[in-house]
């Protein structure tokens, strides 16, 4: 037995596939069902998968297959699809833009600065919360798989647990990307490269700006 919203969604997906052969985007599904956020769409799709109505096709963005057609009655409400321009295909991935705040040292700390550039990021790489991006400069985190030129995707938060990779602002002027640990009364920022030494600071000298949530890498 499907809930009303689950039934509306499976009908909408089935109609769109029959009409265009392409799955609707998460934004279109959100608008069609009058949901407040795309997280609600994710939950509905997961529920339909569990009930055997839908299947996500692997390695293909926005690829949904209806494997069990919904029962349709005259009383069933079907959301009206939003107007869609079909002259150009929509992007294959749901993408969000987050602020790109310049470069951050993964070696010796460099001066932190704010920028106005926005970086498009696949929504699947981000969880809940507010995020920003920093371009990595240096090689002190290579043993954690973080390389010079990578984009570190950071979830904003002011606290961290031992062992988490964080952006730490040192004396309100320099930022660095390191493992965060307590060591007695001190804060220790550990690199992931044996060529570098840990950095130790008094708690008042260090402010956590966020925790590493993901990475983007360019291949050129």
Which residues participate in catalysis according to the annotation?
A: 140, 178
CA dist 86 → 21, 22, 181, 212 (Å)? 12, 11, 52, 38
Q: Are 63 and 55 in contact (CB under 8 A)?
A: no
Half-sphere exposure of residue 203: CA atoms within 13 angstroms, side-chain side: 9
The residue with tokens 């959100």 is 30
Burial class (CB in 10 A: 0-12, 13-18, 19+), 33: middle
Structure tokens at 195: 């060529």
């Amino acid at each position: 037995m499907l809930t009303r919203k689950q039934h509306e969604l499976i009908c909408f997906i089935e109609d769109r596939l029959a009409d265009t052969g392409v799955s609707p985007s998460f934004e279109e599904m959100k608008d069609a069902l009058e949901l407040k956020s795309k997280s609600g769409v994710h939950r509905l799709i997961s529920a339909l998968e569990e009930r055997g109505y839908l299947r996500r096709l692997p390695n293909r963005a926005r690829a949904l297959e209806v494997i069990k057609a919904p029962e349709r009655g005259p009383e069933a409400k079907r959301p009206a699809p939003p107007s869609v321009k079909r002259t150009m295909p929509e992007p294959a991935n749901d993408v969000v833009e987050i602020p790109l705040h310049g470069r951050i040292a993964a070696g010796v700390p460099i001066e932190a600065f704010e920028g106005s550039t926005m970086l498009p990021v696949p929504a699947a790489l981000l969880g809940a919360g507010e995020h920003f991006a920093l371009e990595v400069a240096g090689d002190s985190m290579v043993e954690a798989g973080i390389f010079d030129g990578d984009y570190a995707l950071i979830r904003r938060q002011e606290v961290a647990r031992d062992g988490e990779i964080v952006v730490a602002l040192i004396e309100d002027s320099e930022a660095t990307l390191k493992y965060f640990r307590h060591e007695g009364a001190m804060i220790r920022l550990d690199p992931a490269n044996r060529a570098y030494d840990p950095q130790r600071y008094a708690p008042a000298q260090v402010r956590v700006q966020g925790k590493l949530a993901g990475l983007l890498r360019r291949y050129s």
